[in-house]
Structure 1
C-alpha cells in the first residue's frame, strides 16, 4: 500500500480518507469496536500532529477527553499498541507527558475490509495496486518475502506467519531487520527472539518491539511480551 505523509497540497484529502476509513470501520462493527475506534478518532482530531506524526498527551488528559478513568485509558492504550496502531515515541517523565506515534499505514491495512463500502473511487485510491505517478526510477526491486510455503514451513508455524505479516506491512524494513531474527522460545505468553549481533538486538528491541508484538498478537493473542536477545 502506498500511503503518503498527510502534509502538503493533498493533505486535507488524505486526512479525510483516513478518518472516513476509521469511521466506517467502527460503524461496521459492534458497540465495543465503535467505542474503541471513536476514542482513536478523538485523539487524532484533538491532539495529533499530522506533520510530525506525534501525539503528545498524558493519561490524565486522555481520561478527560474520553470521560473515563485512567485505568480504562491504560487498558485501551495497551490494546492500541498491541494492534500496532500506536507506539510510544518518548515515554512519560517527570514534568513531561508521553509522546506517541500513530501508524496510519497499519490503520489503513486493518480497515481495508470496509473500503468497498465507502466506494470504488476510495478503494482505487487506497489499493496497493494503485501506484503513484512518478518519474523517479526505483533503485531496487521490492524485497522478496519469507518463504513460508515450503515443505519445511507448516501452516501452523507461528513464527512463519509473523514473518509474513511483518513483510506485508513493510518489505524494506523486514529485509533490513526482521528477516535476520529467529525464534528461540515461545511459552507462557512470552516470546524470545534472537538477533545475529548485539547491535541489531538492541536496536530492534528499542525501535520495533511494539511492531513485533502486534504481529504476534494477530497470530497468537496469548502472546503478551516479546524480547530480543543477541546470539552471542
Structure 2
C-alpha cells in the first residue's frame, strides 16, 4: 500500500462504518471517472467485484450513494485542518498550515473531493428532486461553514498586517481555486513518494497565499 493509499485508508476508517468503506471508495472512483449522470449502481458493483445487493444494503439509491461520498469528502477536509485550526500560533501560520492541509486533502482524497465539486455543480443547475435538493443544501452549507473557518483566520491575519486583499469574498474564492486545483489535474506518477505529494501541495499553497500578499509564500524557493 502506498503512503497516499495509507493516509486515505486511515481517514476512511475514522469516519466511515466498516461495511461501507470499500463501497464508498469504489463509488468515488466511478463518479470521478464517469460523472454522476453516467455512473450506475451496476458500474460501482462491477468495480467492487460484488453484487448490487451489497450496495443497496447500505444505500437506497445511486443519489444516496453519491451524497454519502460527497459528505465523507467534506468530513475529510474538516479532519485535515482541525489540528492547524486549533494550533496556538499567529494567524498567518495557522492559515499557511490550513491551506497546505486542505490541498493535501484534495490530493489524498481526490476521488471524494471530485464528488463534492460535482455536488456543487448539480446544486447550481437545480435539476434535482426535493429529497436531493435537501441533501445538496446540506452539502453546500457544510462547504460554507468550512470556508468560514478560513475566513476567520484570514481576517485575523489581515489585522496582524501579514496579508492583504481588497474583497474578502473574491480573495477566498481565488485562494480555494488554487488549493482545489489538484482535484482536476493531479495524477499519481510511478514511483511517486509522500514527499513528492507534499511538494505539489506546497507549491499550490505558496501560489495561493502569495496572491494574498504573504511574503513567505512569494519568496519561498522552488523545491
Q: Which structure has greater helix proportion?
A: 2
Q: Normalising by structure 1, report the TM-score.
A: 0.31
Q: Normalising by structure 2, report the TM-score.
A: 0.31
Which of 1 and 2 has higher RCO (CA within 8 Å, sep 6+)?
Answer: 2
Q: Which structure has greater strand proportion?
A: 1
